[in-house]
C-alpha cells in the first residue's frame, strides 16, 4: 500500500450510501430498463445513466420517460418496473471492498449510518441479502423518510441528529453527484467513489475522489487503518475470466515493449461492471503452454484514452511468439493499485514494470501461489 497521506480531518462516524457505493445496482437497472424499453422498440444504451444515478425512484423514472419520449406517465412506468426491480434485489452483489469496509469499521466500533434516496423498505430488503450489514448500522434512513431527497442535505442532517453528533464530524462516502452535493451542503466531509466511468472530473466538490472502496485509506480521516495489505498488494476474493486471445502484442509490444494478451469483453459486461478499473494479478493458463504468473489491467487506459473497458493481461514469461486464438483462462487473486494517467510514456512504462515486480514477488507467497493449481486455470491446459 502506498504511504498514507496527511490526516485530513478526524471523523467520528461514517455515513454510507447504498446503491452504487456498496451494491452494484447498475447492472440490475440496465437489465430492467432494457426489458422495459424493448417493449417500445427502444434500446437502453445507458446514455441517460448520469441523470438517474443518486436520484429518487420518482426522479429517475421521470428522467427515463423524458429522455426516451415514452408515451406512458412517470407513475405508470414506476408501477410496472417496481415489481421487476423487487424480483432482482436478491441478485445484487456487493461491490469490491464493501464487505471489507463494513467489517473493518464495525470491528473497530466506528459508528456507521446508511443514507439513501431509495425508499426505506427497499433498503431493508436489499441489505437483508448481505450477512451482517443491517446490524452494523446504528441508523438507516431512506429517501421517503425525509421531506426532500438529495441533493438536499436533509437526509444527512437527520442522520447526524439521530446519532447525536456534529455534522462536521461525519464522513460521507457516496458515488453520485446529488449525494456529494448533499453531503457538502450538510457541512460534512465527503469521499466520492464515482460509479459512472471516466467522470471523476465532475466530482471536484468532494474532499477526496477514489477509484473504488479498495482504495479507501481510513487513516486519512482519523479512523483505524486497514491491516490487510501484503507486500503492496491486497488479497481479494478470487474470480475467473477466460476466452480466446483476440489481440494485444501490437501496441503493447511496439510502443510499450510489453506484450499483453487481450481477451474479448463480449459477454463479460456484467462481470466487468463488478470490478473496478485498476491493476490486478494472478495466474494464467494457456491451452497449449501451461500456467504462468500474470499481471493485468482492467479499464480504459487513460494515457491512451480507450473508449471501451478492456482486459489486458501480461503473462510474465518470455514466449517465442504470439498466441492469438489460444484459450486463455485467468484467476485473479490480488489487487495492486487503481488505474491512473501518466504525464509521459516513460513514466507509464516504468510503472508497468514496477507492477510486474510487485506481482511476481507476491505470487511467490503461499497465500497466492496456491492458486496456480486452480482447476479452472489448469483445465485450459
Burial tier of 170 (Cβ tally within 10 Å: 0-12, 13-18, 19+) = buried
Q: Shortest CA distance to 129 belongs to which of 234, 25, 263, 248? A: 25
Q: What are the Cα distances from residue 188, in Å, to 42, 191, 195?
A: 41, 10, 20
* Number of neighbours of residue 23 by Cβ within 10 angstroms: 22
Active site residue 175: no
- Selecting among 17, 174, 208, 374, the annotated active-site residue is 17
Q: Shortest CA distance to 167 belongs to which of 149, 182, 177, 150? A: 182
- Selecting among 19, 154, 158, 339, the annotated active-site residue is 19
* Beta-strand pair 278-286/208-209: unpaired
3-state secondary structure at position 208: strand
Q: What are the Cα distances from residue 75, in Å, to 65, 81, 308?
A: 10, 10, 35
Q: What are the Cα distances from residue 124, in Å, to 144, 172, 214, 371?
A: 13, 20, 25, 37
Q: Side-chain half-sphere of 52: how many Cα atoms within 13 Å? A: 20
- Which single residue is written with the C-alpha cell 420517460? 65
Active site residue 17: yes
d(CA 53, CA 184): 18
3-state secondary structure at position 260: coil
Active site residue 318: no
Burial 191-214 (b: 16+ CB within 10 A, else e): bbbbbbeeebeebeebbbbbbbbb
* Beta-strand pair 208-209/234-248: unpaired
**Length of the chain in terms of residues written:** 381
- Selecting among 26, 158, 175, 312, the annotated active-site residue is 312
Are the beta carbons of 67 and 39 closer than 8 angstroms?
A: no
* Number of neighbours of residue 178 by Cβ within 10 angstroms: 19
Q: Side-chain half-sphere of 9: how many Cα atoms within 13 Å? A: 17
Active-site positions? 17, 19, 312
Amino acid at each position: 500500500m502506498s504511504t498514507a497521506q496527511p490526516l485530513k480531518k478526524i471523523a467520528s462516524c461514517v455515513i454510507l450510501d447504498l446503491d452504487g457505493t456498496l451494491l452494484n445496482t447498475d447492472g440490475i437497472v440496465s437489465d430492467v430498463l432494457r426489458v422495459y424499453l424493448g417493449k417500445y422498440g427502444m434500446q437502453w444504451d445507458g446514455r441517460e445513466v448520469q441523470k438517474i444515478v443518486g436520484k429518487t425512484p420518482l426522479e429517475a423514472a421521470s428522467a427515463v420517460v423524458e429522455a426516451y419520449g415514452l408515451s406512458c406517465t412517470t407513475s405508470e412506468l414506476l408501477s410496472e418496473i417496481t415489481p421487476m426491480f423487487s424480483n432482482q434485489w436478491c441478485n445484487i452483489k456487493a461491490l469490491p471492498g464493501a464487505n471489507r469496509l463494513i467489517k473493518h469499521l464495525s470491528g473497530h466500533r466506528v459508528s456507521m449510518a446508511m443514507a439513501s434516496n431509495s425508499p426505506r423498505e427497499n433498503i431493508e430488503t436489499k441489505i437483508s441479502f448481505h450477512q451482517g450489514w443491517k446490524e452494523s448500522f446504528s441508523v438507516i434512513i431512506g429517501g421517503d423518510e425525509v421531506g426532500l431527497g438529495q441533493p438536499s442535505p436533509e437526509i444527512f442532517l437527520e442522520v447526524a441528529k439521530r446519532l447525536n453528533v456534529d455534522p462536521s464530524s461525519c464522513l460521507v462516502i457516496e458515488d453520485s453527484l446529488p449525494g456529494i452535493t448533499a453531503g457538502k451542503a450538510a457541512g460534512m466531509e465527503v469521499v466520492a467513489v464515482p460509479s459512472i466511468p471516466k467522470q471523476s472530473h465532475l466530482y471536484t466538490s468532494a474532499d477526496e475522489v477514489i477509484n473504488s472502496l479498495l482504495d479507501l485509506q481510513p487513516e486519512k480521516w482519523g479512523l483505524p487503518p486497514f491491516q490487510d495489505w501484503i507486500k503492496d498488494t491486497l488479497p481479494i476474493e478470487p474470480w475467473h475470466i477466460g476466452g480466446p486471445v483476440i489481440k494485444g502484442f501490437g501496441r503493447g509490444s511496439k510502443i510499450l515493449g510489453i506484450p499483453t494478451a487481450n481477451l474479448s469483453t463480449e459477454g463479460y459486461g456484467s462481470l466487468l461492471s463488478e470490478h473496478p478499473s485498476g491493476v490486478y494479478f494472478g495466474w494464467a493458463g494457456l491451452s497449449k503452454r501451461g500456467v504462468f504468473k500474470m499481471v493485468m489491467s482492467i479499464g480504459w487506459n487513460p494515457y491512451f484514452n480507450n473508449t471501451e473497458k478492456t482486459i489486458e493481461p501480461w503473462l510474465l514469461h518470455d514466449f517465442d511468439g504470439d498466441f492469438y486464438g489460444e484459450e486463455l483462462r485467468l484467476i485473479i487473486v490480488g489487487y495492486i493499485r487503481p488505474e491512473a494517467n501518466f504525464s509521459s510514456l516513460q513514466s507509464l512504462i516504468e510503472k508497468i514494470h514496477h507492477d510486474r515486480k510487485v506481482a511476481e514477488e507476491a505470487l511467490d507467497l503461499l497465500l497466492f501461489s496456491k492458486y496456480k493449481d486452480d482447476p479452472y486455470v489448469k483445465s485450459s491446459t
